[in-house]
Amino acid sequence: MTAIPFPVSGKFIDAVRESSQSLRTKFNITVSQDAVKSFLLSSSFTSSFSRLRTSHGLILPLNFPSLISELNLLCILSLLNFASGYRVPLHAATGRGAFDNVRALVFSMYISSSTGAGDLLSARGMKAMQESTVADLMGVTDELHIERPHESIPGVTVGELGGPIWELIQLLTKTINETGTVLVKGGYPDLGSFVLEAFEGREKAKAQGGDECDVILERLVRGIPAFQDMMLVNNEPVYCFKKALLTIHAIALRFGSSDTPAIPVPRTSHLPIFSDNVIPSLLIHLGVIDLSTSTPALNLSSLFPEAGEAETLEALLTAATPTDPKASKNKEVPKEGPVVTPEQAYILRAAAIDACELIVQAAHELGASSEELAWMKDITAPELDAWIWAVAKDRPDYRRLERFVLRNTVFF
């Protein structure tokens, strides 16, 4: 297998934008100015953007004994922020989606560590984590077996470990173990200490006029395998770095609000989006990303056959009808979306990164040309990311929209 090269040092953020734009245009995925403008001027966007623009959902309502304890938990939550391909089986098993299950897992790790069950959030605790522990903390121990016919006794079935939930437990455990091993080898007591060191190392870049976030991003990506979100597509590298970028932004949101932040946080408003499966899927449904023009060999245009239909699009771009908060709690199991290959997933995620760059650019132009839309001059890609991710949960009709599915990945 051909090794995937890291970006040039000091150009990690640029590599995300440039590789995404190159991949989108190379495979003829359209993001038209008219579609972007319709999206930005829609009542769906304008009526809810200010409310949802910072809703990444990464903060847990816990009391922490120290700053590094909170930082460590936030970093582990970002590290494990994947499992999107298991959304439907998780809903069926627990009544919660992928991120809510991961958040519950991290919450349980913290509570267990606080009650004397061993520090599961330390480097050594992560290195030693067992699959059975992860399953127990997630409350899915009854979902790990599948039944198959006995090989030699007719009418008899036997249970064995298997199925999508077991596959996810293995992915989570491997990521936790792998990260713990790296941290122990490097002499770090926990992930938070590693990340804090990366943040403190930004001062050199700042003194030299470089991008502080780029220094942090490079340190996180080079150091932690689960942050190495990149792939070769037709021998062309594409870089998304979703979880590493989100880690930086989440820390900045949490610790950068005061005049004298306890952790030296950089400005993150210039970062690209944190591309998963939700954002590209929503942008396709909302008419921003057009797959009908894409290179036929990719088979992308068949993934969302109903996306872009005039009547459906009009309804989706209209402001949401208020719903009963109690009714929203009774969530139905969502419909499984189209299953994609790893290559298709990276192409779609790259298209979303570039599409959001074009949306932000168009928003700034609209804001500069209209006093009524002046608020759009300050829209950032991380805010746009937060809005898309949050509105996908906020509206019942958006929750029912299919998202593409890729399993066996730890990147989103």
Render pLDDT for 83-130 as a digit per residue (tens, 0 to 9): 999 999 999 999 999 999 999 999 999 998 876 557 999 999 999 999
Q: How many helices (H) and strands (E) does the chain have?
A: 20, 4
Contact 269, 75 (CB under 8 A): no
Contact (CB, 8 A) for 191 and 202:
no
Q: What is the largest CA-CA distance in the chain?
A: 77
- Rounded Cα distance between 330 and 223, Å, is 41
Contacts of 57 (CB under 8 A, 6+ apart): 99, 103, 390
pLDDT confidence of residue 290: 96
Dist CA 232 CA 224 (whole Å): 19
pLDDT in the model for residue 325: 45
For residues 206 and 166, which has the higher predicted lDDT (pLDDT)? 166
pLDDT at 182 over 90: yes
- Measured in degrees and rounded to the nearest 5, phi and psi for residue 158 equal -125, 145
Tens of pLDDT, residue by residue over 185-206, are: 999 999 999 999 999 987 776 7
pLDDT (average), residues 338-352: 97
pTM of the model: 0.92
pLDDT confidence bin for 289, thresholds 50/70/90: very high
**Domain coordinates in residue numbering, the chain:** 12-399
Place of tokens 């009709």: 397
Q: How far is CA 344 from CA 32, 233, 238, 289, 295, in A?
A: 21, 9, 12, 14, 11
CB 82 within 8 A of CB 412: yes
| Residue 265 scores a pLDDT above 70 | yes
Residue 96 makes CB contacts below 8 A (sequence gap 6+) with 90, 104
